[in-house]
Amino acid sequence: MEITLNGEKVNLEKSYSLNQIIDIYDMNRETVVVEVNGNLPEKTEYDTIYPTEGDVIELIRFVGGG
């Protein structure tokens, strides 16, 4: 299955939930927001949302600084 992840085409061997994708890319679930096809689902839904062929996913990480 091919999706676009952070602007790059990615082939996934199987369907993964949003939380599984966050884990695969070794990101902290607490500091990441996921955008799916321009929408921002609730974090409580990340375990139940499985991207499908052609979806555009953005993993947005918040960082502090000053």
Position 63 scores a pLDDT of: 73
The total number of structural domains in the chain stands at 1
Q: Is residue 66 part of a domain?
A: no
pLDDT of residue 62: 77
Domain interval for residue 29: 2-61
What phi and psi values does residue 30 have, to the nearest 5 degrees?
A: -75, -25
11: in domain = yes
Residue-wise pLDDT for 4-54, tens only, equals 999 999 999 999 999 999 999 999 999 999 999 999 999 999 999 999 999
The beta strand positions in the chain, using DSSP E, are 2-5, 8-11, 32-36, 56-61
For the record, the structure tokens of 53 come out as 């062929």
Residue 66 in this model has a pLDDT that exceeds 70: no
**What's the CATH code of the domain at 21?**
3.10.20.30
